[in-house]
Structure formats: structure tokens, C-alpha cells
């Protein structure tokens, strides 16, 4: 076996790359081990390909449903196979530009391909070779959760891996109909995308859409989905799945009633599971929780002093989120902690997140119920977007902004938006919260008129006045 | 009693040219260090020092010479007590 690497990274996604780049800058010899495709989930089968196809679906929908009187609906034909091919080209180009060529340019970073399994605390087996690291970073990410539903192991089903450009799980034909199991962010993004591209979509959920977000968001999205012809089945407990070459049947209980829903394809979007079950963590003595997430301290150090974990594989510990930019931040922190005396802790208090439905959703900070459960005296103000001039001007008034603020010092604790441009404007809220802004600070900032960002100013004004009685830009 | 001498292998980051090697080599002024050899190609250094010299002090000395970083890779005995 060759000399140990200074840093052996398991994984090659955004977390791994951020760590590798920083560690190489700090003088380390680094290896990344990848069992699937270079780049991890985001570029290959997550954020990037989904946003590509979601935008195509939006174009199809907007053409058929113009918001302006005077515009005639038009039908945009959908060649799904060709659409998938262009998506694959985007993925491959992006992967080459942002991952493969970056790895090639890092002379002190080696890429090892294969499944890694720990032999001891410093060594992993990768196929027929072994590699060891003085320091180790576990950044193996996550995969779609497959819930223990009877019959699921006997039917063909899709997961978000359908977005992959190169693996067998990829989808190249548009299903005539689709049942989606789940109501989280992956479920809602893909449900609306398929519906807009022409599939008949039924969403089956236990507790409605986006139940882990402010309730107003899921409520509005449900109205939008139903108006677009997506059927949503709530309070459903799925107890069996059957299928054959012609399609699938999902058997569920809804209250006391039994119900069976059939479709050509089944999409399982029931959360994400950490990629740790094949690593042999117990052989290395690395602790993990009952769901398989690697246990870390605030400095992202695992239960052994030379081992760190970051990205999806740590789940929601220390206010983390399973999201690409969060992993990238954590990867850099690990490199700093491993090779300098920085002793950086991960700070997850302000992490903006978005869901790319239409209207899109973006959130940062605490929900009102979270503030309450943490015994923080807080109040919320909810403002419909019809009070935002830009929204009215472009006929995009569906949505709202909900702000949560402390009643002690008026500091804004959370911002929750559903509506046009939410994933862009949320950064103003995030930056403000990073610097502990109050609701008054949002009002005091002069905003460009007319923009959707004004929703934050008007949303903050709603704490103290009736915003329906304000002229444009009035404070 | 004579203190034992150790060779400490350091990884060194941030060096872009031979001038950097000179700067990093200046870090040998740490008490207890007998010699330091910095190698640009391997991005490393071998420091010969008394065994009670800790890597953190060497790393801190390297960092103060400029935009460089250092960390300990190995430490091995050169002479005994």
C-alpha cells in the first residue's frame, strides 16, 4: 500500500470538492473516493437536472396559460426524450466544467473509483486496492429513502434518480400517469414538472404538502396544484403496492376508507437516507445514529479525532441542512480544522433554502412554531402578495410573505415566502438576518420599485400597520 | 541528559515559487529547531528538532512568514537519549 494520504475523502460531491480544494491549498495530499459518478447528487441527479426540466415545464405551462388578457394560449409540443437528452448534455457539460476539469487541475488531488469500506480506522478497501488517510472525511451524501411498504420491493418504481444522465435509473419516456408518494420538496417539484409536461399526476401524502414548512406555504401550493389538475390525497397511509408491466396500484387507507390509485409509473419521494450502510463504520469505530447519520460535534469532527463528516451524511445535526451549498461550506470548514488551528464551528442559524415549484418557495430561519417551541417570544405577520406592486403589475399575485420576529428586540427570526422570485429575494432576508436585522431595518432600506424584493419591506411593515392603506413605496 | 532529536515531516501549503521556500525556511528560528529543509516540489519540509518541539509551534511559525500553512505528517527519531 502506498503512503497514506493527508486527507482521504469518501465521496466526490460538493462537500468533498470544497474540502479537497481547500486542503490542497493548505498543502495536503488528498484523495477522493467515488462509487458512482463524479460530482455527487447535485450535478448528476439533483439540483441541476431538476431545475433544467422544471424550467422547460414552466415554458410549456405558461404558453398554454398566459396570465395576460390579450395573449392567446399556445400549445408547445413536448418531445420528452429530446428534452431529457438536452438535460443530459447540460449535466455532462456542467460536470466536466465544474468537477472533472477542477479535479484535473488539482495536482495534489487523486480520484479513486469504487466502493469504499473501512478495514480499520485509517484504511479503506476500494475494489482490489487499499487506501489510507492520516485524516478522513466522510462526505458520501445521501440517496432517496425507500420506505418499508409491502410490495415495493417487487415493483419497478422511480426516485429522483430518474434525473440522472448516465445511470440505469434515468427516465427517458414521459409516463402517461404518475403516482407520487411523498409531500416534501422533491415530491412537489417533480409532481408539478411531470404534470406540466403532460403526465396525469396524483400525489399521495400522509400529512399534506410541505408539512415541515409554515402551513401557509403548503396550503397555497395545494390550491395551485389542484388548479393545475394535480390530485392530492392527504392523510393517506399506504399499506401495499402492486405492479406489473402495465403499471402500478397503490393501496392506501384514508381515515376509515380504503382506496386504490393506479398509474403507469410510481415515484417514491419519501426523504433521503445517508450513504453509510456499506461503509463499515462500526469496523472503524465511527459512531452513527439510528438513521445512519454520522455523529459529529459542532466542528464536524466524528467520534474519532482524525475523522470528520460533512454534507448530507450528517443530516440535521447542529442546525445543518441537506443541501449542496451547506455541504460545500462544511467541506471547507473540515479542511481548515484538519490542517490549521482554526477550530471552526459550523453555524447553521441562517441557511436560505428554496423549492422550485411555481410559484416558488424560499425560507430562512425559524418557523413561528419553532420559535415558540424554543421559548422565544415571537410574533408573525403574513402579507399576501397582492399588496406588492410588482406582483400586481405582472399578474403574479399568488403567494405571501410571512415574517417571524422577536417581541423582545424586534429581530427577524424567520422569513417564509411563496411567490414569484422567492428563491432570489430570500437572500436579502438571509443577509439581513446574518447581521441580526430588525423588522424596522427591512422597512428602512429603500427598495427598488417595483420589485418582488419589496415584499420583504411590505411584509415587515405589516407588523405595525395596515399595508393595504399604503401608497407605492410609502413608509 | 541530552534531549533526543526527531525529524518532523511537515506538509506545507501556499508555496508558489522558490522565494516562498526561502520565506518558509525562515521559520526554523523556532527554539529547539536544528535544521529545516523545505522542498517546493513535494510541498513539504523536514525539520530536525529536539523532541519536545511540537508541530503546532512549527506550524504557527510557518504561518507567520506569509500566506503559508503547515501541518505535521510524521515524526521519527533521529538520535536517542
pLDDT of residue A473: 86
pLDDT of residue B1: 57
Q: What proportion of chain B, given as a percentage, has pLDDT over 70?
A: 94
Q: Is residue B69 predicted with pLDDT exceeding 70?
A: yes
Chain mean pLDDT for chain A: 96
Which residue among B12, B56, B60 sits closest to A27, beta carbon to beta carbon?
Answer: B12
Chain A residue whose CA is closest to B39: A27
The arithmetic mean of pLDDT across residues A245-274, rounded, is 96
A339–B71 C-beta distance less than 8 A? yes
Interface predicted TM-score (ipTM) of this complex, two decimals: 0.91
Chain A residue whose CA is closest to B40: A27
Q: Is residue A444 predicted with pLDDT exceeding 60?
A: yes
Contacts of A334 in chain B (CB under 8 A): none
pLDDT of residue A74: 98
Give A296's pLDDT tier (boundaries 50, 70, 90): very high
B40 touches chain A (CB under 8 A): no
Question: Is the CB of residue A468 less than 8 Å from the CB of residue A407?
Answer: no
Return all residues near A85 (Cβ < 8 A) that are at least 6 apart. Answer: none
Q: Is residue B81 predicted with pLDDT exceeding 60?
A: no
pLDDT in tens, A301-334: 999 999 999 999 999 999 999 999 999 999 999 9
CA atoms of A380 and A373, how far apart (whole Å): 15
pLDDT in tens, A204-219: 999 999 999 999 999 9
Q: Is residue A2 predicted with pLDDT exceeding 80?
A: no
The arithmetic mean of pLDDT across residues A176-189, rounded, is 98
Supply angle C-alpha A177, A183, A184, rounded to 5: 120
For A432, the 3-state DSSP assignment is helix
Please name which of A328, A316, A4 lies closest in space to residue A136, comparing C-alpha atoms. A4
Most B CBs within 10 Å, among A19, A24, A27, A29, to test the B interface = A27
Give B80's pLDDT tier (boundaries 50, 70, 90): low
Question: For the residues of A311-326, what is the DSSP string, one character each?
Answer: GGGGTTGGG--S-HHH
Chain A residue whose CA is closest to B11: A27
Please name which of A268, A200, A259, A176 lies closest in space to residue A250, comparing C-alpha atoms. A259
Please name which of A353, A334, A2, A320 lies closest in space to residue A136, comparing C-alpha atoms. A334
CA atoms of B70 and B26, how far apart (whole Å): 13
Chain B residue whose CA is closest to A30: B11
Q: Is residue A347 predicted with pLDDT exceeding 80?
A: yes
Most A CBs within 10 Å, among B8, B9, B69, to test the A interface = B69
Beta bridge partners of B67: none
- Give this prediction's pTM: 0.95
The arithmetic mean of pLDDT across residues A174-196, rounded, is 98
pLDDT in tens, B10-47: 999 999 888 888 888 877 789 999 999 999 888 899 99
Which residue among B14, B56, B60 sits closest to A27, beta carbon to beta carbon?
Answer: B14
A26–B71 C-beta distance less than 8 A? yes
pLDDT in tens, A383-398: 999 999 999 999 999 9
Q: What proportion of chain A, given as a percentage, has pLDDT over 90?
A: 93
Give A291's pLDDT tier (boundaries 50, 70, 90): very high
pLDDT of residue A208: 96
Which residue among A25, A27, A108 sits closest to B71, beta carbon to beta carbon?
Answer: A27
Which residue among B44, B60, B69 sits closest to A339, beta carbon to beta carbon?
Answer: B69
pLDDT of residue B67: 85
Shortest distance, CA A27 to any CA of chain B (angstroms) = 3
B32 touches chain A (CB under 8 A): no
Chain A residue whose CA is closest to B63: A340
CA atoms of A303 and A449, how far apart (whole Å): 52
Return all residues near A434 (Cβ < 8 A) that are at least 6 apart. Answer: A350
Shortest distance, CA A99 to any CA of chain B (angstroms) = 22
Question: Is the CB of residue B40 less than 8 Å from the CB of residue B49?
Answer: no
A341–B43 C-beta distance less than 8 A? no
For A282, the 3-state DSSP assignment is helix
Most A CBs within 10 Å, among B73, B74, B76, to test the A interface = B73
A28–B13 C-beta distance less than 8 A? yes
CA atoms of A149 and A234, how far apart (whole Å): 17
Give chain B's radius of gyration (CA, Å): 12
A27–B70 C-beta distance less than 8 A? yes
Amino acid at each position: 500500500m502506498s503512503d497514506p494520504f493527508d486527507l482521504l475523502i469518501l465521496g466526490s460531491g460538493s462537500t468533498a470538492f470544497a474540502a479537497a480544494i481547500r486542503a490542497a491549498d493548505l498543502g495536503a495530499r488528498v484523495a477522493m473516493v467515488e462509487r458512482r459518478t463524479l460530482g455527487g447528487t447535485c450535478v448528476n441527479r439533483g439540483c441541476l437536472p431538476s431545475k433544467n426540466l422544471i424550467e422547460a415545464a414552466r415554458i410549456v405551462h405558461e404558453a398554454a396559460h398566459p396570465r395576460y388578457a390579450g395573449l392567446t394560449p399556445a400549445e408547445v409540443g413536448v418531445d420528452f426524450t429530446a428534452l431529457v437528452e438536452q438535460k443530459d448534455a447540460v449535466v455532462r457539460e456542467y460536470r466536466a466544467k465544474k468537477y472533472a476539469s477542477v479535479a484535473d487541475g488539482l495536482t495534489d488531488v487523486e480520484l479513486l473509483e469504487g466502493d469504499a469500506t473501512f478495514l480499520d480506522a485509517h484504511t479503506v478497501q476500494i475494489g482490489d486496492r487499499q487506501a489510507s488517510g492520516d485524516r478522513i472525511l466522510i462526505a458520501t451524501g445521501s440517496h432517496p429513502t425507500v420506505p418499508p411498504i409491502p410490495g415495493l420491493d417487487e415493483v419497478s418504481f422511480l426516485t429522483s434518480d430518474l434525473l440522472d444522465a448516465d445511470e440505469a435509473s434515468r427516465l427517458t419516456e414521459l409516463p402517461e400517469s404518475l403516482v407520487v408518494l411523498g409531500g416534501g420538496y422533491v415530491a412537489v417539484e417533480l409532481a408539478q414538472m411531470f404534470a406540466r409536461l403532460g403526465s396525469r399526476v396524483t400525489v399521495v401524502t400522509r400529512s399534506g404538502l410541505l408539512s415541515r414548512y409554515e402551513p401557509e406555504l403548503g396550503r397555497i401550493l395545494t390550491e395551485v396544484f389542484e388548479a393545475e389538475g394535480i390530485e392530492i390525497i392527504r392523510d393517506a397511509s399506504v399499506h401495499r403496492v402492486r405492479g406489473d408491466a402495465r403499471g402500478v396500484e397503490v393501496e392506501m387507507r384514508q381515515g376509515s376508507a380504503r382506496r386504490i390509485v393506479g398509474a403507469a409509473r410510481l415515484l417514491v419521494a419519501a426523504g433521503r437516507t445517508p450513504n453509510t450502510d456499506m461503509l463499515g463504520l462500526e469496523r472503524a469505530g465511527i459512531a452513527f445514529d439510528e438513521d445512519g447519520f454520522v455523529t459529529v460535534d459542532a466542528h464536524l469532527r466524528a467520534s474519532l479525532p482524525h475523522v470528520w463528516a460533512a454534507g448530507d451524511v450528517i443530516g440535521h445535526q447542529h442546525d445543518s441542512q441537506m443541501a449542496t451549498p451547506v455541504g460545500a461550506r462544511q467541506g471547507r470548514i473540515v479542511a481548515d480544522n484538519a490542517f490549521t488551528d482554526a477550530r471552526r464551528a459550523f453555524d447553521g442559524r441562517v441557511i436560505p433554502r428554496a423549492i422550485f415549484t411555481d410559484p416558488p418557495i424560499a425560507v430562512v430561519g425559524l418557523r413561528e412554531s419553532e420559535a415558540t417551541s424554543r421559548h422565544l417570544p415571537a410574533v408573525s405577520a403574513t402579507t399576501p402578495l397582492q399588496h406588492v406592486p410588482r406582483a400586481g403589475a405582472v399578474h403574479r399575485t399568488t403567494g405571501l410573505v410571512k415574517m417571524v420576529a422577536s417581541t423582545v428586540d424586534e429581530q427577524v427570526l424567520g422569513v417564509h415566502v411563496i411567490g414569484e422570485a422567492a428563491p432570489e429575494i430570500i437572500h436579502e432576508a438571509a443577509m439581513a438576518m446574518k447581521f441580526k436585522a430588525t423588522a424596522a431595518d427591512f422597512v428602512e432600506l429603500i427598495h427598488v420599485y417595483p420589485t418582488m424584493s419589496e415584499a420583504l419591506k411590505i411584509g415587515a411593515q405589516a407588523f405595525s400597520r395596515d399595508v393595504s392603506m399604503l401608497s407605492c413605496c410609502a413608509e | 541528559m541530552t534531549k533526543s532529536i526527531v525529524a518532523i515531516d511537515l506538509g506545507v501549503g501556499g508555496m508558489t515559487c522558490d522565494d516562498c521556500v526561502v520565506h518558509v525556511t525562515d521559520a526554523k528560528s523556532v527554539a529547539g529547531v536544528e535544521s529545516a529543509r523545505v522542498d517546493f516540489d513535494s510541498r513539504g519540509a523536514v525539520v530536525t528538532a529536539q523532541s519536545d518541539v511540537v508541530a503546532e509551534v512549527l506550524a504557527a511559525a510557518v504561518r507567520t512568514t506569509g500566506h503559508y500553512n503547515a501541518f505535521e505528517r510524521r515524526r521519527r527519531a533521529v538520535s536517542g537519549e
